[in-house]
Amino acid sequence: MGVTLAAGETLQLVNINPDTIIFTLINTLIIFLLYFFFLHKPVMKILDERKEKIANEMKAAEDAQAEAEATKAEYAAKLKESKEEAAQIVSAAVKRAGERENQILAEAQQEAAALKKKAEESIELEKKKAINEIKDQISDIVIMASEKVCEKEISKADNEALIDRFIAEVGKE
Amino acid sequence: MIDMAPVLMAEEKTFTVDGPLKSIVFELFGKEWVIAETVITQWIVMLVLAVLFFVLGRNLKLRPEGKRQVIAEWIVGFFTGYVDDSMGAKYRKRFAPYIGALFCFIILSCLMGLFGLKNPTSDVSVTASWAIITFVLVLYTKIKTGGVKGYLRSFIEPMPFMLPFNIIGDFANPIAQALRLFGNNVSGMVIGGLVYFALGSFAILVPAVLSLYFDLFSAVIQSYIFITLTMSYVAMADMSEE
């Protein structure tokens, strides 16, 4: 089959040439190998490596995040614990202070009571002492007055009996 | 009837579909071998592709530096993605390199037309070679997925009277594939050549525009169609049930 030209030649357009087929098959194989080894394989290798690297990095990031969350939870727990501890310490201190306060108050009251008692005792003593002194003075005065009034000596025994009666009477009043 | 011969002869040129390169004939193993012009053009394409693939594919980094690696990854990613989409991921490993290589081969062969060389895809022997590969791949896939028994049974399915049509179908697909690519490119070449020849010394702009259309636009589409057909024939041949 061909295109007939004016000069009587034919253009061999659709002629199958077995040699060309063989050479083309060989050339196609070579181009396939060139493409495969020079371009396809290195690119696929780098793409796989990149995929793997990204997967590893993502996994590492996820691990790091999980670790961070765990640490955060741990710290939160610790913080809570220390807060509780602090609250406990404060409450214990408050309690102890309260106890101490009560104790101090009690001691003070006790001391005050003791002082008061002592003071009262001392006052009583002084009172008695004063009364005795007054008794003595009064008896002396009475004796002197009696001596002056009576100008007459009476027996000391009579005198003292008289005085005691007088004092008793005075004491009753 | 007007005889065109004197007009054509007056130009002192004859219309030819041959390019500037001459075919080589030599003898080896007692046989006369013909290295056609299209085969020589293929070697030029191979040289260009070897340099291109080597430059693109070397010294790749995990973190891409420069456009070279981006282009390389885009090319490989395009073909693996295309094979994934039309054939399924299980074909990626074996088919993506072939589809990528074939596409690069076809498209650069067509681009040779832009440089005035004879486009290898305008030689039916060249496109027939690729159709033979498709035929073998289809046969291999059928036998591998269905076994010899399954392959033979596929001829009488869905009905026994479909036998002749199934046999024709197995051959018609690759033949049509080869002729489609060949026809598109040879028509472009013939039309371009005729226009160039007819315009004579006024051949400015018009042949360039035609060449851009046939050698670039049409070539890209036909290359794409060729690899798409290759993939769909093989995918259709897959008899494994999934």
Q: Which residues of A touch B8 (CB under 8 A)?
A: 5-7
Region B103-130: mean pLDDT is 85
**C-beta separation of A11 from A5 below 8 A:** yes
Question: At B86, which amino acid appears?
Answer: S
Region A24-47: mean pLDDT is 88
Rounded to the nearest angstrom, the minimum Cα separation between B46 and chain A is 6
d(CA B130, CA B134): 6
Q: What does B170-207 look like in DSSP terms, one character per residue?
A: HHHHHHHHHHHHHHHHHHHHHHHHHHHHHHGGG-SSHH
- Least CA distance to A50: which residue of chain B? B62
Q: Which residues of B touch A11 (CB under 8 A)?
A: 15-17
Region A97-113: mean pLDDT is 93
Question: At A122, which amino acid appears?
Answer: S
The pLDDT, as a whole number, for residue A101 is: 92
**Cβ neighbours around B214 below 10 Å, total:** 25
Comparing B2 with B124, which gets the higher pLDDT?
Answer: B124
The pLDDT, as a whole number, for residue B168 is: 86
The pLDDT, as a whole number, for residue B236 is: 83
Rounded to the nearest angstrom, the minimum Cα separation between A63 and chain B is 23
Q: Is the pLDDT of residue B113 over 90?
A: no
Q: Is the pLDDT of residue A171 over 90?
A: no
Comparing A97 with B200, which gets the higher pLDDT?
Answer: A97
Q: Supply the ipTM of this predicted assembly.
A: 0.81
Average pLDDT of chain A is: 85
Give whole-number Cα distances, B66 to A29, B32, B222, in Å: 31, 50, 31
Q: Render pLDDT for B181-215 as a digit per residue (tens, 0 to 9).
A: 888 888 887 887 788 777 777 767 777 787 788 77
**C-beta separation of A17 from B36 below 8 A:** yes
Q: Render pLDDT for A145-169 as a digit per residue (tens, 0 to 9).
A: 777 777 656 677 877 888 888 888 8
Residues in B 106-165 with any Cβ partner in A closer than 8 A = 120, 123-126, 128-130, 132-133
Coil, helix or strand for A140? helix
Residue B25, strand partner residues:
B34
- Prediction pTM value: 0.68
**C-beta separation of B235 from B86 below 8 A:** yes
d(CA B140, CA B98): 15
